[in-house]
Amino acid sequence: MYGQNSELDNAVKTLEETIKLKPDYRDAYFALGIFYHELALNAQGNVVKPELQKKAEDSLNYILKNLNVDDEAALQTLQSWNSQ
């Protein structure tokens, strides 16, 4: 809900709490990665907060390393970020 209302900071906080309670919740890691990525960008779509971009990538890499090595959405999202 927070993400849909552009309350990304609240979304991140909620998702961080969620993965502490349920560390195998793939969708929470994926959403967390997306929200961190959005927070890392400026209005022109350039990464201006590399520390948040790293957290975004770490969230998706967690999925690939610990939950599903073949997760297509995580793989494609990481590839699209690396091609920007």
Structural domain 3-82, CATH architecture: Alpha Horseshoe (1.25)
Partners of 41 in the β-ladder: 47
For the chain, what are the domain ranges?
A: 3-82
Q: Identify the residue with better confidence: 21 or 3.
A: 21
E strand segments, 1-84:
none
Supply the pLDDT for residue 7.
83
State the virtual CA torsion across 2, 60, 57, 4 in degrees, nearest 10: -20
SS3 of 10-70: HHHHHHHHHHHHCCCCHHHHHHHHHHHHHHHECCCCCECCHHHHHHHHHHHHHHHHHHCCC
The tens digit of pLDDT for each residue in 56-82 reads 999 999 999 999 999 999 999 999 999
Output the pTM of the full model.
0.89
Name the residue with higher pLDDT: 39 or 7: 39
